[in-house]
A and B are shown apart, each in its own frame.
Chain A
Amino acid sequence: DTGVSQDPRHKITKRGQNVTFRCDPISEHNRLYWYRQTLGQGPEFLTYFQNEAQLEKSRLLSDRFSAERPKGSFSTLEIQRTEQGDSAMYLCASSLGGSWNNEQFFGPGTRLTVL
């Protein structure tokens, strides 16, 4: 399967714990995005990388959230001191830069439940 993959698919954690999610984009894609989706809502943009550089962060991305893409390939999203409001589906997407209409391909998501 050459699509975007995410790991884990599901994560249940207790409030206050730290969690880390991984995203592997489509191999030739230089752009990588993280989104969050809650029930009944569309995905909301969190952050964006071009290669290893994090170029944009949403105001939704509080200090407890950090994302990295150290070698310009896979990315990790860490949430520290999780809160119940962090419960959501975390979606990763990737695209090939250089086109005004570059399609973003989404991974299956990591569903986080904070108890």
Chain B
Amino acid sequence: RKEVEQDPGPFNVPEGATVAFNCTYSNSASQSFFWYRQDCRKEPKLLMSVYSSGNEDGRFTAQLNRASQYISLLIRDSKLSDSATYLCVVKTGANNLFFGTGTRLTVIP
């Protein structure tokens, strides 16, 4: 079983729409959780950390459910510039990160 599972999409949404991505992780001992963004042919970049109480950064809201081992990312009022692949990332124990396959988002004008 993979450490992190994500729906690969693609998600095609109109500008202004709200879109939600989900992922699940297999190791209950996982300690830290993140969403990374990766543009086509670019390196991944940290979008936001995910805290147990949930956290918001502008139009982006991340939530964590430790009991269900489930992480979500909500994007409100989608912009064209939000088009990218969103990677769910989990850190377990040591320092290496486990990445999901990524969910591809295309925001359509």
Which residues of chain A have a CB within 8 Å of any CB of chain B?
31, 33, 40-45, 48, 50, 55-56, 58, 91, 95, 97, 100-109
| Chain B residues with CB below 8 A from A97, complex form | 95
Q: In the complex, are the beta carbons of B87 and A107 less than 8 A apart?
A: no
A107-B43, A108-B43 as given contacts; A33 in contact with B96, CB under 8 Å: yes
Q: Which of A33, A40, A44 contacts B95 (CB 8 A)?
A: A33
18 A-B contacts (beta carbon < 8 Å): A33-B96, A40-B101, A42-B4, A42-B102, A43-B44, A44-B99, A45-B96, A45-B97, A48-B95, A50-B95, A55-B95, A56-B94, A58-B96, A100-B31, A100-B32, A101-B49, A106-B43, A108-B42
Contact A42 B101 (CB under 8 A): yes
Known: A33-B97, A45-B97, A58-B96; 10 extra A-B contacts, CB below 8 A, are A31-B95, A33-B95, A41-B101, A41-B102, A44-B99, A55-B95, A91-B43, A95-B95, A106-B43, A107-B43
Complex Cα gap A100–B92 (Å): 11
Give a binary string over B72-109; 1 marks a CB under 8 Å from any A CB, 0 the rest. 00000000000000010100001111111110000000
**Residues in chain A near residue B96, CB distance under 8 A:** 33, 45, 48, 56, 58
Q: How far is the CA of A42 from the CA of B87 in the complex (A)?
A: 7
Decide yes or no: A106 and B44 within 8 Å by CB, A40-B8, A100-B31, A101-B32 being known contacts. Answer: yes
The residues of B that contact A45 with a CB separation of less than 8 Å are 96-98
- Measured CA separation A97–B49 after assembly (Å): 17
